[in-house]
Amino acid sequence: MTAFGAVLALAGCSAGGSDGAGGSTEPTVTSTPTMLRTADVSFPMDAYEATAEQQVTLARAQGVLTSRCMARLGFTYQAPERPVSSASGSNARVFGLVDPDTAARYGYLNPGTANAPVRAATGSLTEAEQLALSGEDDLDPADVPANLEEAEKSGGSDVTFNGERVPVGGCVRESYLKLYARKANEVDILFVFNLKSDAESKAREDSRVRAVDKRWSSCMAKAGYELTGPVNAVKELGLTESDLSSPRAVTAAKADVACKQRVNLVGVRYAVTTAYQRRLIEENAQTLSLAKEQLESRLLLAAELT
């Protein structure tokens, strides 16, 4: 099946869903798409997170801020360059291996990470440079400013270079605060990630996902593989990092993907995960709105810096 163009309008959330394993109400799924590949798929919560390209821009902006801080303290410092993400979408393996061509060529090996470019080394830092960059080693986490406003009030640590006080937590911490935590009301940058993880966890325990996982296991059993579910397939197959693309791995991976397609595992997981995400968006609408506004502001600052 081709990917996302055929995806139907999906689930709303309601209090009248079916009961899950723990008696909790499961969100209603009004339609389930027939799909396999997920490289170009999107989820409701993606709108509240930076894209892969934007993450690179933000990382570069933080590097600029770190370098400026180090220069203020009298040091020349160039932050390591973050490699640009591969062309495949960030959701390409959100449900594990799903691409038949990848399975046939690479087995369970992820070609997007197998040959990831190595970041250029910055050279060894002197003790003074390391102190300026990262702050004091024995720093109590309770003393680290939570936002830029707190940092500016504290005035910095007792360590000085070039007549300037080293920020508490060093230049890395200062650059982080200037980009991600400028004010006390900044939403934690992991807030959306944690919500997505929550939705994923709930979806894994959903009765509809557990049912399709069982159908997948039955399909794999017919192909000669006794596996409890797709999540731990690599581990249960006994594959190590060194043989993820071995002939044995390729054979199993091809059967894995074929079974996912046969039982529409990806379509079911996508529909259910989307439903849980929409429920969490409704429950956290105000915080998510603020997070989106702050992300847009952060990206404007990053664009100015880079």
Report pLDDT for 39.
87
Nearest to 278 by CA among 23, 42, 38, 21: 42
Domain hosting 51: range is 4-305
Residue percentage of the chain with pLDDT more than 70: 86
Domain total for the chain? 1
- Residues 156-166: pLDDT tens digits? 999 999 999 99
7, pLDDT greater than 60: no
More confident residue, 256 or 154: 256
Does residue 11 register a pLDDT over 50? no
Packing angle between helix 127-134 and helix 52-72, nearest 10 degrees?
120
Give me the pLDDT at residue 118, please.
47
Would you state the pLDDT for residue 85? Answer: 54
Task: Output the pLDDT for position 264.
Answer: 98
Tell me the pLDDT of the chain averaged across its residues.
88
Residues 17-44 have pLDDT tens digits of: 454 444 469 999 999 999 999 988 999 9
pLDDT tens digits, residue range 175-220? 999 999 999 889 999 999 999 999 999 999 999 999 999 999 999 9
Tens digit of pLDDT for each residue in 44-70? 999 999 998 999 999 999 999 999 999
The pTM is what?
A: 0.82
